[in-house]
Structure 1
Amino acid sequence: MTVFILVAGAFTGPYVWRDTAAHLAAGGAEVRTVALTGLGERANGPAEAVDLETHVADVLAVIDQVVAQGGGDIVLVGHDYGIHPVLGAADRRAAAVARIVHLDSGMPRDGVPALAAVPDQRLREELAEGGGGRTGAELPPPARDGWARWGSTAGLSEAALDGLTALAAPQPLGTLLQPLRLTGAVAEVPVTGVLCTGNGPGIELVQLMVDMGEPALQALVGPRVTLFELPTGHWPMLSRPAELAGVLAEAAAGGGHQLTAPGIDGPPPHLRPFLLDVPGRPRERTGNTDLYLPEGPGPHPAVVFVHGGPVPVDARPTPRDWPTLTGYARYVAGRGAASAVLDHRLHAVTDYGRAAEDVADAVERVRADPRVDGDRVALWFFSGGGPLTADWLAAPPPWLRCLALNYPVLAPLPSWGVTDGRFRPVRAVARAGRLPIVLVRAGLEMPEIAATVEEFLAAAARGGADVEVVDVPAGRHGFETLDRTAGSREAVHRAVTAVLERLERGSPTTR
């Protein structure tokens, strides 16, 4: 028999598992829910004495009880903060645990406190500085409208949100501030991750980050790790209890998707050849920027290409050598406009500020080149570079003739925990005025990214923005190196033509 031991996240207790536990039990499994000290049914006692080790001991006690009673195949499920005591306990009872399930949770490491996994960046900083609205040694639970700071509430009914708020308990601060201690034994236990795509990345995006060489994610590659998706927010046990129970049962049986190692089937997708056979072209490399010039003396209009991300700091080659960006740059230069491709420092979701500085500096260098017409410039952003468009949309300069976007992320994903309102194109587009926008939309886009695109287009329509959508119905995210089809090639031609035509028009601020 499978024995599920369920550990809830911050501010919550065993009550959140009621419906999921009932479905698991109906399927023949045994279910135990852990009441963590200071939370839920065990909310009495001095909070000062409660830390992460207290909660590790709570989970250990349930594991030992199951083993003493003859047990079964123990599957430990940790939601949100709950994964920290789960891992701490599994590390000490690795031989007794058949599988660990990370339920919309991070990948905690030895020596790192749970505070590092708190999604809200500002709250992390406040807590690290000893603030955060704490009372004594406790962090008050969120108000009804404050749960989104801890994860997406997508899928929760009004009644479920009311119940979550009514039963929430203060979180002892020691549970968030005490570092997790692991010996390494837990690394041998099979793992399943359940990704809630209403709150963060799905499997496709995780694979993309693995392909780019993200070091923290390489541990997910291999037969020991499987993944599932649930199309809901951060509390699937409340929004999709039956579906969650089904996924947990499949996970216990060893099911799920396995990621592939970079390069196992040839080059990773972002390093495969560009879909057009574009002739080679010389480039001039200055600092972090490569310039491709067309024939003739100029000055030429220019297109500046801005890569997405986050890109691991040690990724090689760097984005300005990626086939998609060099392919577009050579193609545009062959059609009479200068092209620039730059590397910027978007290595984490907290880096948008310094990446924006890098882009602005590179744009000014390109505009200052005497072979470039600094009054006719287009900016073209890709993928996770989408949030960098917000500054340009909010206050378009007169020399900016067009802003283009390919399969962009146009609002921070909930799991990013970004509280800064600056990098939100879905809001900034209302101030774009007459700036022409060309948006290349992948028909097979990842749902979490597609939702931001649709939100952006709706906001653009309300504000009367000038948006041309180039659809690639059978195209995937990064279709230029993934989908070498006639439809994809036509989309590239259409998008480049649309941008170049707008470079030839008068300034949008004077029309």
Structure 2
Amino acid sequence: MTSNWTKQGAAAVRPALVLVPGHWLGAWAWDGVVPALRELGHAVTALTLPGLDPDDPDRAARTLDEQASVLADAVARAAAGGPVALVVHSGGNFPAMLFLDRRPDAVTHVVYVDSGPVADGAIFDAELPDDVDEVPLPDFDVLAQRASLEGIDAAALRRFRDRSVPEPGPIMRERISLHDDRRLSVPATIIASSFPSEVMMTMAREGHPMMAETARLTNLTLVDLPTGHWPMWSRPDELAAAISKAAGH
């Protein structure tokens, strides 16, 4: 298929960006990054995935399949204007990988923000009981033991607490089913912020469950942006610049 952007020359067009937030977050999580990305010339779509809309009465029953479908629709709309890069934060990698497994040709680049690919058969929380309908944002002292809060000021923490939405239990328990290894060949960049990329790749090569699939990526660029797990709040301008540079590879 020949699109208008290929006729004009891909180098002249900044890829459109579809931003996928992590757990407990909606499109609002990217508010500090979106203006800078637009100033850099990108059309930007920030998503609130099914299950994370506080006004959805059925949100606690939403599934990864529904999230991947919404992601596919957003990418299709963005692609009407040219190439699209997918930007994925944290636990947004589960629906993103399901989407990429189904449509590995739909985006030109994947930018993982303190995240990475997940493997076939992975479950985010295999120990979550079946009768748990939703998982709220933990207390910050508990959360900090799992993910670094470095660099987030008090106002951002209050906003995180006030605007967070409990994660649907079905999404946390669902075993992902992936079939097309072409998803691993989509050019990818990992922006490592919680810990250095060198440490991350050592974990990947050693088969750490959270990182092992990263070692299977065939076209990977690593970028270090030292801060906590939510660089869109702690270093938004630097993150925007890193995303823009990565998406243009």
More strand by share: 1
48, 59, 70: which is aligned to 1:58? 70
Number of the residue aligned with 2:3: none
Contact 2:15 2:248 in 1 (8 A): no
Q: 1:161-176 maps to which residues of 2 (within 5 A)?
A: 161-176=157-172
154, 159, 184: which is aligned to 1:158? 154
Aligned counterparts of 1:150 and 1:14: Cα–Cα separation in 2? 23
223, 239, 243: which is aligned to 1:248? 243
Structure 1 residue 29 displacement after superposition: 0.6
Letter of the 2:73 partner, please give it: A
Contact 2:201 2:215 in 1 (8 A): no
Aligned counterparts of 1:149 and 1:81: Cα–Cα separation in 2? 16
Q: Secondary structure of the residue that 1:95 maps to in structure 2?
A: coil
Letter of the 1:64 partner, please give it: A
27, 39, 54: which is aligned to 1:26? 39
Letter of the 2:50 partner, please give it: T
Contact 1:47 1:138 in 2 (8 A): no
Aligned counterparts of 1:175 and 1:207: Cα–Cα separation in 2? 27
Structure 1 residue 49 displacement after superposition: 2.7
Alignment CA distance shift 1:85-1:148 (3 Å):
same
Aligned counterparts of 1:170 and 1:208: Cα–Cα separation in 2? 32
Number of the residue aligned with 2:184: 187
Number of the residue aligned with 1:89: 99
Aligned counterparts of 2:16 and 2:192: Cα–Cα separation in 1? 22
Letter of the 1:139 partner, please give it: V
What's the TM-score once normalised by structure 1's chain length? 0.43
Aligned length: 230
Aligned counterparts of 2:145 and 2:202: Cα–Cα separation in 1? 26
- Provide Cα deviations, 1:140-172, integer angstroms capped at 9, x if missing partner: 222344432441100000111111111001110
Number of the residue aligned with 2:9: none
Q: 1:54-453 maps to which residues of 2 (within 5 A)?
A: 54-67=66-79, 70-115=80-125, 125=127, 127=128, 129-130=129-130, 134=132, 137-184=133-180, 185-196=182-193, 199-200=194-195, 202-209=196-203, 213-215=205-207, 216=212, 217-220=214-217, 222=218, 224-254=219-249
RMSD: 2.0
Aligned counterparts of 1:15 and 1:48: Cα–Cα separation in 2? 19
Over 4 Å off, 4+ runs: 207-210
Aligned counterparts of 1:52 and 1:103: Cα–Cα separation in 2? 19
Contact 2:16 2:85 in 1 (8 A): yes
Contact 2:90 2:115 in 1 (8 A): yes
Structure 1 residue 183 displacement after superposition: 2.1
Number of the residue aligned with 2:28: 15
Aligned counterparts of 2:61 and 2:130: Cα–Cα separation in 1? 17
Letter of the 1:187 partner, please give it: L
Identity of aligned residues (%): 31
Number of the residue aligned with 2:17: 4
- Provide Cα deviations, 1:393-446, integer angstroms capped at 9, x if missing partner: xxxxxxxxxxxxxxxxxxxxxxxxxxxxxxxxxxxxxxxxxxxxxxxxxxxxxx
Unaligned runs of 5+ in 1: 116-123, 255-511
Aligned counterparts of 2:191 and 2:95: Cα–Cα separation in 1? 18
Contact 2:112 2:190 in 1 (8 A): yes
40, 52, 58: which is aligned to 1:46? 58
Alignment CA distance shift 1:150-1:206 (3 Å):
closer
Alignment CA distance shift 1:142-1:206 (3 Å):
closer
Contact 1:84 1:108 in 2 (8 A): yes
Structure 1 residue 92 displacement after superposition: 1.9
Letter of the 1:188 partner, please give it: S
The structure whose Rg is larger is 1
What's the TM-score once normalised by structure 2's chain length? 0.85
Higher RCO, 1 or 2 (CA under 8 Å, sep at least 6)? 2
- Provide Cα deviations, 1:299-339, integer angstroms capped at 9, x if missing partner: xxxxxxxxxxxxxxxxxxxxxxxxxxxxxxxxxxxxxxxxx
Alignment CA distance shift 1:165-1:150 (3 Å):
farther
